[in-house]
Chains A and B, each alone.
Chain A
């Protein structure tokens, strides 16, 4: 019976080509716009480290003086050098890493490549295992390298391709800031989006090209990039280790919720202790968001992207209403034909099914066309210069969503016209002719 209905549907659709094209186009445009914007939203609000992110936490403390104190206010978004080092050495978490962004001048050995500045991350040994950073060659540095301010560097695959033509460069010398570093590891392809561990570099910034121990970077006064928030006597670029400024990010890995609760308790005790010592002045104000909590708090997904998704949904709604109206007009126009079928013994249910198949065909065609439009839309998004543009790709879940959305939406849209049209009274329709 289905093939017969399909045949009827195709005949009916080809009778009114312009109208059929109009309905398919409206659905395709609506679905295409929705899928493009929802995919961008989905990609941007995604979990950067699925399976791991719930165990990664970002401790926040409030080391500021009483100037401008408001009870219940938010603690700063970064930590001071002193607190960062204290928490790092306390080793109360399963893993912990202290870090900041920077930029280093790279002086390639080959004269063919002009010296250039590369984005860098100055961090501590646990960074690599904690964030599941994949290594292509060699290894990351150890806690001993951190202690000894070793002149070692880990570089990204992209930088390795640029400087060493993709060969295993471990053991090679890399000149940065006029100092020779030994390359000990090369990362495999790695990009965290959002760039959750340091949002100061841009919410969807690319990952850094060079990784150097934090203590080494401090010894060599490598240039920092990022935000610095100071109070009291303010910033002192030459003595950032004692300046009353927050400028470092500190991440911990806590494998169970119980450990997280215990760690939060530890942070409160630490704050009290620092207050007793006179370093902190405010009452303890600690937070311990996990990765997704931290991204939420920072409202990482651009408001415009959400707005675009709402707009696209509105547009899809208009397209659907449009199609429902046209389909209804079309089905009602065929009342006499349907009346004949009813009179010849077709049940109301069979007529309903027949009409639903017809609307399903439109939905399916519109959905497929919409998918193609979405691919075109995403390609256009990728051409934009925003830092998240390159991330806009359709993945399998979104592909399935498109398909379901398209067919579901049109079947739903087909329900009303089909139901209205199958209400015809056979006798009345036959009589009027």
Chain B
């Protein structure tokens, strides 16, 4: 094998431009594919972001009134009582927002009302019966109790008058938020402030509960739940918990029951939580799909390029091959010659490709808030391109090996 390298290099020297073009093609492919695979990994990580809720057991319903009028709070209680009667429903909640719902309500949180800058911005879930229905696990403290709840309009009025009376006094928060507010300390019993007047005591810590606007990994789990009775409104959602296999049936039955109770209402949204996640991560999934397509297309084009070029060289060197065969080279020698040649070209391409991949990653980091390309991607990319090169060259190389020694005696 080692004896081949000398003649191969001197042959390639004579096809310098062509050889360099192939090296460049392999290098570009290597650089783009390494980064694309990295991006695909990033997107898939995002798509699989944990929500902390019983996703396979939840459905969401939103309703709008055709005419305003009835007492919204009484109405919400009636609706929830009605929904609890729907066969298969295990638990019912009303909420101002849903995890991964996109549209969100958020608060700037302070641990001291006189702090100038807030410590964290967290999604503020307002509603009734939420942790139980969502199925998010309580890891410390207690659940929100019936005595904790106040009506949302009373709370808004108290805020407007600058009074603390009528505001909720307790809240449960996620572990991630607790760690942000009080790193390494016990959060239970501590006060957190939504405004300088509205302070709530943390009574429970949730394992995970993702926010509706989970666009950044670092803050995705910053959420707080306040015990408020919400009025029925087009922006509020009912969440129903049921068995996974009952979701569609429960959704239809619940909508029918609500419609029967009051035909003057329009269902503006009904979906399973699986659909909520599906919609939220749609663009990430699409992008991952596009990237997979680009990788396949790049590798195919490069492979075909190698096949085409190798075929050329084989047919161009038929006479030389014949001479070598006549002088005693075996078929395996010829096969190995072309395989070695491809290996050398691929190696040069990979080395250049690594540098390009690194540069491309720097560009992406500057423009798309991406982390650095893990070093492990480079050997994986190298291996893939070596394999691709060897596979692509195999056909032409076998054809070369078939060239009979007699060719040497014929004129070209």
Partner of B316, one of A239, A303, A324, A333: A333
Partner of A329, one of B39, B195, B302, B313: B313
Partner of B294, one of A68, A311, A433: A311
Q: Does A234 contact B (CB under 8 A)?
A: yes
Q: Does A105 contact B (CB under 8 A)?
A: yes
Within 8 A of B (CB), among A272-325: 302-304, 306-308, 311-312, 314-315, 317-319, 321-322, 324-325
Q: Which residues on the A side are within 8 Å of B297 (C-beta)?
A: 29, 33, 315
Q: Which residues on the A side are within 8 Å of B21 (C-beta)?
A: 321, 324-325, 328
Contact B68 A221 (CB under 8 A): yes
CB distance from B66 to the nearest CB of A (A): 4
Within 8 A of B (CB), among A316-347: 317-319, 321-322, 324-326, 328-330, 332-333
Binds A, one of B24-32, B242-250, B334-342, B382-390: B24-32
A67 to B115, CA, bound (A): 9
Partner of B308, one of A19, A304, A306: A19
Q: Does A178 contact B (CB under 8 A)?
A: yes
Q: Does B182 contact A (CB under 8 A)?
A: no
Partner of A416, one of B17, B156, B298: B17
Binds A, one of B4-12, B140-148, B283-291, B399-407: B283-291
Contact B32 A433 (CB under 8 A): no
Q: Which residues on the A side are within 8 Å of B375 (C-beta)?
A: none
6 more A-B residue pairs beyond the given contacts A306-B367, A315-B32, with a C-beta to C-beta distance below 8 A: A117-B268, A236-B159, A238-B153, A325-B22, A328-B18, A385-B282
Counting from the closest, the 10 A-B pairs by CB-CB distance are A178-B67, A325-B21, A322-B305, A329-B312, A105-B66, A321-B25, A318-B28, A314-B32, A326-B308, A304-B287
Within 8 A of B (CB), among A4-31: 19, 22, 26, 29
Closest A residue, CB atoms, query B43: A304
Contact B301 A177 (CB under 8 A): no
A234 to B105, CA, bound (A): 12
Closest A residue, CB atoms, query B156: A236
Contact B18 A115 (CB under 8 A): no
CB distance from B165 to the nearest CB of A (A): 14
Q: Which residues on the A side are within 8 Å of B305 (C-beta)?
A: 22, 26, 322, 325-326
CB distance from B377 to the nearest CB of A (A): 17
With A311-B32, A332-B15 as known contacts, state yes or no: A326 contacts B309, CB within 8 Å: yes
A115 to B162, CA, bound (A): 41
Q: Does A266 contact B (CB under 8 A)?
A: no
Q: Which residues on the B side are within 8 Å of A29 (C-beta)?
A: 297, 301
Q: Which residues on the B side are within 8 Å of A117 (C-beta)?
A: 64, 234, 266, 268
Contact B117 A107 (CB under 8 A): no
Q: Does B89 contact A (CB under 8 A)?
A: no
Contact B25 A322 (CB under 8 A): yes
Closest B residue, CB atoms, query A26: B301
Q: Which residues of B contact A (CB under 8 A)?
A: 15, 17-18, 21-22, 24-25, 28-29, 32, 36, 39, 64-68, 108, 116-118, 153, 156-157, 159-160, 162, 195, 234-235, 264, 266, 268, 282-283, 286-287, 290-291, 294, 297-298, 301-302, 304-305, 308-309, 311-313, 315-316, 364, 367-368, 412
Contact B117 A68 (CB under 8 A): yes
Q: Which residues on the B side are within 8 Å of A68 (C-beta)?
A: 108, 116-118
Q: Does A235 contact B (CB under 8 A)?
A: yes
Q: Which residues on the B side are within 8 Å of A22 (C-beta)?
A: 304-305, 308
A304 to B22, CA, bound (A): 30
With A26-B304, A68-B118, A321-B21 as known contacts, state yes or no: A304 contacts B283, CB within 8 Å: yes
Q: Which residues on the A side are within 8 Å of B268 (C-beta)?
A: 103, 117
A326 to B17, CA, bound (A): 11
Q: Which residues on the B side are within 8 Å of A385 (C-beta)?
A: 282
Contact A329 B309 (CB under 8 A): yes
Q: Which residues on the A side are within 8 Å of B159 (C-beta)?
A: 233-234, 236
With A68-B118, A302-B283, A328-B17 as known contacts, state yes or no: A234 contacts B195, CB within 8 Å: yes
Contact A105 B65 (CB under 8 A): yes
Q: Which residues on the B side are within 8 Å of A306 (C-beta)?
A: 367
Contact A223 B25 (CB under 8 A): no
CB distance from A214 to the nearest CB of B (A): 18
Partner of A318, one of B66, B266, B301: B301
With A29-B301, A321-B25 as known contacts, state yes or no: A177 contacts B68, CB within 8 Å: yes
Q: Which residues on the A side are within 8 Å of B290 (C-beta)?
A: 308, 311
Q: Does A167 contact B (CB under 8 A)?
A: no
CB distance from B158 to the nearest CB of A (A): 10
With A117-B64, A328-B21 as known contacts, state yes or no: A318 contacts B160, CB within 8 Å: no
Contact B368 A386 (CB under 8 A): no
Closest B residue, CB atoms, query A329: B312
CB distance from A185 to the nearest CB of B (A): 24
With A234-B159, A318-B29, A318-B298 as known contacts, state yes or no: A311 contacts B36, CB within 8 Å: yes
Contact B25 A233 (CB under 8 A): no
Q: Which residues on the A side are within 8 Å of B29 (C-beta)?
A: 318
Partner of B28, one of A236, A238, A307, A317: A317
15 CB contacts below 8 A, A to B, read A115-B266, A177-B66, A177-B67, A221-B68, A223-B64, A303-B368, A314-B32, A318-B298, A322-B25, A322-B304, A325-B305, A326-B305, A328-B18, A332-B15, A332-B18
Contact A325 B234 (CB under 8 A): no
Partner of B156, one of A237, A304, A307, A329: A237
Contact B283 A311 (CB under 8 A): no
Q: Does A420 contact B (CB under 8 A)?
A: yes
A238 to B364, CA, bound (A): 47
CB distance from B117 to the nearest CB of A (A): 6
Contact A311 B291 (CB under 8 A): yes
Within 8 A of B (CB), among A54-90: 67-68
A307 to B35, CA, bound (A): 12
Partner of A330, one of B28, B39, B312: B312
A238 to B233, CA, bound (A): 13
Contact B156 A107 (CB under 8 A): no
Within 8 A of B (CB), among A92-131: 103, 105, 107, 114-117
Closest A residue, CB atoms, query B264: A115
Partner of A333, one of B162, B282, B304, B312: B312
Closest A residue, CB atoms, query B290: A308
With A29-B301, A318-B302 as known contacts, state yes or no: A386 contacts B282, CB within 8 Å: yes
Q: Which residues on the B side are within 8 Å of A420 (C-beta)?
A: 17
Q: Which residues on the B side are within 8 Å of A235 (C-beta)?
A: 156
Contact A321 B28 (CB under 8 A): yes
A302 to B215, CA, bound (A): 14
